């Protein structure tokens, strides 16, 4: 069925309600809009189902959510694990509460027990709850850091990690097998409650989750002492973060926590930010204004589902607030926590740091310094979770730290997704520790660079929307894949890695070996002098993403090298 036939079906079939039909009839003369809404069905990418809210197969609405849930239910029933239950949470986005309730009741209609949070909660608490409750799966209704028009649907499995291959493909197959929306089963909440299938999760889960996080503090006495004077500005960017973040910081001993008042309450319209993403400096406007007013030491922001953390820290020498990339903030936490674990003789001998192939090479240097194994996986925290699960099953490695450059890390094995709430706590602990030594967080970052070298990274996203954009992205990847690139800017290519074809080519000898990674549309270039580049299409947004990193002898040297490499890479891709 082509997109126009699918559109007509949605406009005419009794399967769809009048509100949906009215919305679609308003675009009857806009073929480009019709095509974008119906040219494909939403698919699971690195973070599950995600799309613009609205009517259509390529949109987030009660029909696409219903189909996804019925497919998931069919899979769980086939596995025979429905009695273990499914934990469900949601963020502050439009329709999140409605989608979460719909998800719970469809699962209940299929005889599957659910545990729905009484109100919105962060992603990491959902991951924790899946493990704590012994559930077979979890669902989080969120579009993470996407613009306000988006929503999404993340599926987790019993280890608390987002679904990975082959399970993700099996679930997708079940979703696709639901051909008619009339196949979606229904039940009322009253009936589901009477059957003991519908359960509400309250603040008792917050208590359990926060208790585990507080147990991860390495220097509680220093935090209590320095927390009397350390000043922290925090913003949840209208999301879930402040359901528990402010409480956590006060409980570990921070007395001066300032939450940005205009952004404190959950609001799916995100009225003060066009893009609720802590990777975007503009999202920090109000937080930085408050920081200047109260003379804060640290400025923190979490995205709407609170799995990502962005930070600024004050440079006492200049008085300016300095921005950290996701690599910088995560590796600052890593260096602090690992060095303290070593000092306290609690660093495991079989310890591992897990990161992604597009994250900083500084990770390898830190791992080497402390005798830890550095494991690199494909983009998506679910791939880090998969390594954690395997190590847990084999009992051969101990998880110490994991992160990806997209502003997400996890400081312990209590969950299997990145945790912005724990990162807020860890950054504040590090700030207290360095303050006790007469240093700021920015001083600590400078010390890391002096110790290991000036590693700098950046990324470029080229947005190409719609069917034409998807085709163009594919064409760009094909051209790169089929071109023998021996030099990028001033750097010789040492190795070329095509993860889709599962090959690594030594550019000097021509020798070819396997990548050891699952197949994925990713191209990676290992360059001279610890520099690198990587290209891949986004799994959740209509864009092609370019990543790159360099190592310099100074801040200025690294920044110059990075800018030159970025320009060279963009020229090759375009």
280-337 pLDDT, tens per residue? 999 999 999 999 999 999 999 999 999 999 999 999 899 999 999 999 999 999 999 9
C-alpha atoms less than 13 angstroms from C-alpha of 393 in its C-beta half-sphere = 7
pLDDT tens sequence across 202-228:
999 999 999 999 999 999 999 999 999
Q: Which is it for the CA torsion 496, 498, 501, 503, positive or negative? A: positive
The average pLDDT across 97-115 equals: 98
Does residue 249 contact residue 210 with C-beta atoms inside 8 Å? no
Report, as an integer, the average pLDDT of 477-506.
95
Among residues 18, 128, 106, 85, the alpha carbon closest in space to that of 411 is found at 128
DSSP 276: -
Average pLDDT estimate for 516-545: 92
Nearest CA-CA partner of 106 in 27, 183, 28: 183
pLDDT for res 450: 97
User: Which residue numbers are catalytic?
Assistant: 144
Helix segments in 253-315, DSSP class H? 285-294
- CA dihedral for 454, 288, 151, 473, sign (positive or negative): negative
Q: Mention the CATH class of domain 40-201.
A: alpha beta
Using the CB atoms, write b or e for 78-96: b if 16+ within 10 Å. Answer: eeebbebbbbbbbbbbbbb
- Check whether 44 has a pLDDT greater than 70: no
**DSSP category for residue 487:** E
Provide the pLDDT for residue 143: 92
**Is-same-fold flag (40-201; 209-452)?**
yes
Outline where DSSP puts E strands in 303-453.
309-314, 321-323, 351-356, 373-377, 398-404, 408-410
Tokens of 301: 């922001």
CA distance 347 to 340: 8
Residue 383: partners with Cβ closer than 8 Å, 6 or more residues away: 164, 356, 377, 518
Is pTM beyond 0.85? Reply is yes
pLDDT bucket at 21, cuts 50 / 70 / 90: very high
Ramachandran category for residue 88: left, alpha or beta (phi over 0 → left; psi -120 to 50 → alpha): beta
On the question of pLDDT at 459 being above 80, the answer is yes
State whether residue 334 is helix, strand or coil: helix
CB–CB of 240/92 below 8 Å? yes
As a whole number, the mean pLDDT across the chain is 95
Evaluate the omega torsion of the peptide bond into residue 166 and state whether it is cis, within 30 degrees of 0.
yes
* pLDDT-wise least confident of 141-145, 553-557, 561-565: 141-145
For the stretch 353-396, pLDDT in tens is: 999 999 999 999 999 999 999 999 998 899 999 999 999 999 99
Position 468 scores a pLDDT of: 87
Average pLDDT of the segment spanning 433-443: 97
Q: Minimal CA–CA distance to 145: which of 350, 282, 32?
A: 282
Close Cβ partners of 57 (under 8 Å, ≥ 6 residues apart): 6, 37, 38, 40, 41, 42, 64
Q: Give the up-direction half-sphere exposure of residue 269: CA atoms within 13 A in the CB hemisphere.
A: 3
For residue 522, is pLDDT > 60? yes
Residue pair 288/258 in contact by the 8 Å Cβ criterion: no
pLDDT, tens digit, 9 for 90 and up, residues 127-178: 999 999 999 999 999 998 889 999 999 999 999 999 988 898 898 889 889 9
User: What is the distance between the alpha carbons of residues 63 and 134, in angstroms, rounded to a whole number?
Assistant: 29
Alpha carbon distance 556, 562 (integer Å): 10
CATH of domain 209-452: 3.40.120.10
Query: Does the pLDDT at position 179 exceed 90?
Result: no
Q: Distance from first CA to last CA of the chain, Å, rounded?
A: 33
User: Exposed, middle or buried, 39 (CB in 10 Å: 0-12/13-18/19+)?
Assistant: middle
| Residue that has been written with the tokens 């440079």 in this structure | 315
Average pLDDT of 114-120?
Answer: 98
Instruction: Return the percentage of the chain with pLDDT > 90, whole number.
Output: 91
pLDDT at residue 41 above 90?
no
Choose among 252, 248, 246, 247: nearest CA to 226: 252
Please count the CA atoms within 13 angstroms of the CA of 115 that sit on its side-chain side.
Answer: 26
| Strand ranges (E), 15-73 | 49-52
The whole-number average pLDDT for the span 491-503 is: 97
* Interval 89-99 mean pLDDT: 98
Q: CA 408, 409, 415 angle in degrees (round to 5)?
A: 115
In the predicted model, what is the mean pLDDT of residues 444-462?
96
DSSP-derived secondary structure letter, 360: -
Give the pLDDT score at 48. Answer: 67
Which residues have CB under 8 Å from 246's CB, separation 6+?
Answer: 234, 257, 259
Position 47 pLDDT exceeds 60: no
CA-CA-CA-CA torsion sign (413, 243, 139, 84): positive
| pLDDT (mean) for 37-55 | 82
Question: Any idea how long the chain is?
Answer: 574
Q: Name the strand (E) or helix (H) holding 60.
A: none
List, in sequence order, the alpha helices (H) in 134-239: 167-177, 189-194, 203-215, 220-226
pLDDT at site 544: 94
Q: What is the pLDDT of residue 190?
A: 98
| DSSP 8-state secondary structure symbol assigned to residue 438 | T
Q: Where are the domains of the chain?
A: 40-201, 209-452, 455-573
Q: Rounded CA gap, 164 and 380, in Å?
A: 10
Rounded-to-integer distance, Cα 379 and Cα 382, Å: 8
The CATH fold of domain 455-573 = TATA-Binding Protein (3.30.310)
Residue 199's pLDDT is: 98
Q: Which phi-psi region, left, alpha or beta, contains residue 135 (left: φ > 0; alpha: ψ -120 to 50)? A: beta
What's the confidence (pLDDT) of residue 542? Answer: 85
């Amino acid at each position: 069925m082509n997109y126009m036939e699918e559109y007509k079906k949605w406009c005419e079939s009794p399967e769809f309600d009048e509100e949906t039909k009215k919305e679609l009839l308003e675009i009857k003369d806009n073929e480009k809009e019709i095509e974008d809404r119906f040219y494909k069905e939403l698919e699971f990418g690195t973070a599950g189902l995600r799309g613009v809210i609205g009517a259509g197969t390529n949109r987030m609405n009660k029909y696409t959510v219903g189909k996804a849930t019925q497919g998931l239910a069919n899979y769980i029933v086939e596995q025979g694990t429905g009695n273990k239950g499914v934990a469900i949470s949601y963020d502050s986005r439009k329709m999140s509460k409605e989608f979460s309730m719909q998800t719970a009741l469809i699962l209940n209609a299929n005889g599957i027990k659910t545990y729905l949070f009484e109100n919105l909660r962060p992603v990491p608490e959902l991951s924790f709850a899946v493990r704590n409750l012994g559930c077979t799966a979890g669902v989080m209704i969120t579009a993470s850091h996407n613009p306000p028009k988006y929503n999404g649907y993340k599926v987790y499995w019993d280890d608390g990690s987002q679904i990975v291959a082959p399970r993700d493909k099996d679930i997708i197959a079940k979703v696709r097998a639901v051909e008619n929306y009339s196949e979606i089963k229904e039940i009322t909440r009253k009936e589901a409650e009477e059957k003991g299938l519908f359960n509400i999760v309250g603040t008792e889960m917050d208590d359990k989750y926060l208790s585990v996080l507080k147990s991860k503090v390495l220097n509680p006495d220093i935090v209590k002492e320095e927390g009397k004077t350390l000043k922290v500005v925090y913003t949840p960017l209208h999301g879930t973060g402040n359901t528990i973040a402010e409480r956590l910081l006060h409980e570990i001993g921070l007395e001066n926590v300032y939450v940005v008042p205009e952004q404190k309450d959950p609001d799916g319209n995100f009225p003060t930010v066009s893009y609720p993403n802590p990777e975007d400096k503009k999202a920090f406007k109000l937080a930085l204004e408050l920081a200047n007013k109260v003379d804060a030491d640290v400025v923190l922001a979490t995205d709407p589902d609170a799995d990502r953390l962005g930070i600024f820290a004050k440079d006492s020498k200049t008085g300016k607030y300095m921005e950290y990339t996701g690599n910088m903030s995560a590796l600052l936490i890593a260096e602090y926590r690992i060095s303290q674990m070593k000092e306290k003789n609690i660093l495991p001998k079989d310890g591992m740091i897990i990161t992604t192939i597009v994250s900083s090479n500084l990770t390898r240097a830190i791992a080497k310094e402390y005798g830890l194994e550095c494991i690199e996986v494909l983009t998506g925290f679910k791939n880090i979770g998969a390594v954690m699960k395997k190590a847990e099953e084999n009992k051969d490695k101990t998880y110490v730290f994991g992160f990806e450059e997209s502003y997400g890390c996890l400081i312990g094995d209590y969950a299997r997704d990145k945790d912005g709430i724990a990162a807020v706590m860890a950054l504040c602990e590090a700030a207290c520790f360095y303050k006790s030594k007469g240093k700021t967080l920015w001083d600590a970052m400078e010390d890391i660079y002096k110790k290991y070298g000036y590693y700098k990274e950046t990324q470029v996203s080229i947005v190409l929307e719609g069917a034409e954009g998807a085709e163009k992205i594919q064409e760009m990847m094909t051209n790169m894949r089929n071109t023998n690139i021996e030099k990028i800017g001033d750097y010789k290519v040492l190795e070329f890695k095509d993860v889709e074809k599962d090959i690594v080519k030594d550019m000097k000898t021509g020798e070819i070996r396997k990548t050891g990674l699952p197949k994925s549309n990713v191209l990676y270039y290992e360059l001279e002098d610890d520099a690198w580049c990587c290209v891949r299409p986004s799994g959740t947004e209509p864009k092609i993403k370019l990543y790159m990193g360099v190592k310099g002898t100074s801040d200025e040297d690294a920044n110059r090298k990075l800018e030159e490499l970025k320009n060279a890479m963009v020229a090759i891709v375009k």
